[in-house]
Structure 1
Amino acid sequence: MNIGIIGSGNIGSILAGYLTALGHEVLIANSRGPQSLSEVAERTGARAVTTDEAAGAKDLVIIAIPEKAIVDLPKSVLSTSKAIVIDAGNYYPSRDGKNADIEGGLTDSEWVAKVIGHSVIKAFNNITAPSLASKAVPAGAPNRIALSVAGNEEEQKQIVMKLIDKIGFDAIDGGLLSDSWRQQPGEPAYCQDLDKDTLKAALQQADISKRAENLAQADEMARPFFEKTMINKEAEK
């Protein structure tokens, strides 16, 4: 496949390495431009391109950036794309600012789909970068980690699930995009390295009446990390 990855952080660069190893043509971009991606390109085998070029990938586009950066994506390119678009991000108010639509009930990915004008599949958001990087194993291996895939387009979900299996993880159907809150920050299925059966149970354990409370707790736990990251970025300027 011809695959574009928007976001060169941990998740984006790890996926770039896996996907090039599987023989796919991978284009990777970030907000700083292709000149900033020489190390990532050399390490992963992906080709560094502009965000517009990555968004224009023919078969698959993976968005792996903070929610606050979604509004800066090339919407004119994405809205007319015939590719499958995966949203791998998560909403954290302390990093992204308050989002009225999400706070009002939309899932993270429903909001992303609304902004870019294109349907999305929610995947790769409920695993930590270290686990994604180091815990891929062949199909049938005991205690293989499972990832949840949510979306409204059944055929697209199946393609993404097969891709996850080839990367080295089990994949389960997480329901419609409106159900994807079950795999978001603070919920039982979020970043717990669960096998297929345990992940299915965790998705069902999620209580929508506690969604706001769980997100607030997860956000508070993540706040020191985001603050440290911001300090480091300022120091690099």
Structure 2
Amino acid sequence: MTDGASVPPPMPRIAVLGAGHTGPVIARVALAAGYPVTIAASGDPARIALITQVLVPGAEPRWAADAVTDADIVVLAIPVHRFATFDPALVAGKVVVDTMNYWPPIDGVQEMFDDRRYGSSEIVARRLARSIVVKSFNQFGYHELEEERRPPGSPERRALGVAGDDPAAVKVVAELVERIGYDSVRLDSLRAGRLLEPGGPVFGASLRRAEFELALETEPG
């Protein structure tokens, strides 16, 4: 017998693909927000077991395929130059958060991403055609992502953009952004995600929600 109180739904499961710099930080802040998290690198999870234990205590290192299988959200946090060899079948049917940036001065020219008619996440989505791609977590450095978290209502709480073509997927990722300590600003298309990239009006900027929204609105074209 229950007391009539509703049981909250379980938190979405998150699989982080990438154990370099960005991946472990996203895993840590997601764990701190109450999400169950698995993390995977490109090979045997035993290779990242110690790193995970030290840097992301509470996350489970797994083979990538195993991590993705029962995940509700897959965070793609691999170096952009490795995406050309990423297997799209691995994340088919999943909501994929693209955290990558294409930044030639840093990464060098990557032929796949060098078509400037498209934003980098649009190019990712074309390759991951059987996934639902949402762009977020790319606008400032991985070290800032952990340090700049603030509770709701804090005057210092920064905004993070969430861009995608699927409103339900954008909502799920926006809720993740809010829970880890940021105000989410939803953009209604993956194409609009170009505003979040290097050279865009909010990339690298410390902006509150109103400032963030104004910067997007006043960007020409």
| TM-score in terms of structure 1 length | 0.80
1:96 CA drift (Å) = 5.2
1:143 aligns with 2:156: yes
Match of 2:173, SS? helix
* Contact preservation (8 Å) 2:132, 2:169: no
Q: Deviations over 1:151-189 (max 9, x none)?
A: 011111111111111101110112310111101002220
Match of 2:8 in 1: none
Q: Which residue of 1 aligns with 2:195?
A: 182
CA RMSD of aligned residues (A): 1.9
1:84 to 95, 118, 123: 95
1:10 to 18, 21, 29: 21
Q: How far apart in 1 are the matches of 2:149 and 2:95?
A: 23
Contact 1:85–1:120 under 8 Å retained in 2:
yes
Aligned to 1:200: 213
Residues 1:159 and 2:176 aligned together? no
Residues 28-52 of structure 1: CA distance to partner in whole angstroms, max 9, x if unpaired? 1122532231233213121111222
Per-residue deviation, 1:101? 5.5
Percent identity, please: 27
- Which residue in 1 is equivalent to 2:4? none
Shift of 1:207: 4.0
C-alpha distance in 1, partners of 2:65/2:121?
20
Higher relative helix content: 1
Tell me: CA distance 1:174–1:46, structure 2 relative to 1, closer, same or farther (3 Å). same
Unaligned ranges ≥5, structure 1: 209-237
2:111 corresponds in structure 1 to: 99
Superposition TM-score, scaled by structure 2 size:
0.85
User: Would the alpha carbon gap of residues 178 and 102 (structure 1) be closer, same or farther in structure 2, given more than 3 Å must change?
Assistant: farther
Q: How does 1:55-74 map to 2 (within 5 A)?
A: 55-74=68-87
Please tell me whether the aligned partners of residues 30 and 37 of structure 2 are also in contact (alpha carbons under 8 angstroms): yes
- Report the CA distance shift for 1:73/1:101 in structure 2 as closer, same or farther (over 3 A): closer
Q: Deviations over 1:41-69 (max 9, x none)?
A: 21312111122223334311000112221
What secondary structure, in the 3-state scheme, does the structure 1 residue paired with 2:132 have?
coil
Q: Any idea what the Cα deviations from partners look like across 1:84-141, whole Å, max 9, x if unmatched?
A: 2110111123515333554241111111111122220001011211211111011000
Q: Which runs of 5+ in 2 are unaligned?
A: 1-11
- Verify the 8 A CA contact 1:67 1:96 in the aligned structure 2: no
Deviation track 1:3-30 (CA, whole Å, cap 9, x = no partner) reads 1111112221111112222332211112
Match of residue 5 from structure 2 = none
Q: Is the alpha carbon distance of 1:178 and 1:33 closer, same or farther for their aligned partners in structure 2, counting shifts above 3 Å?
A: same
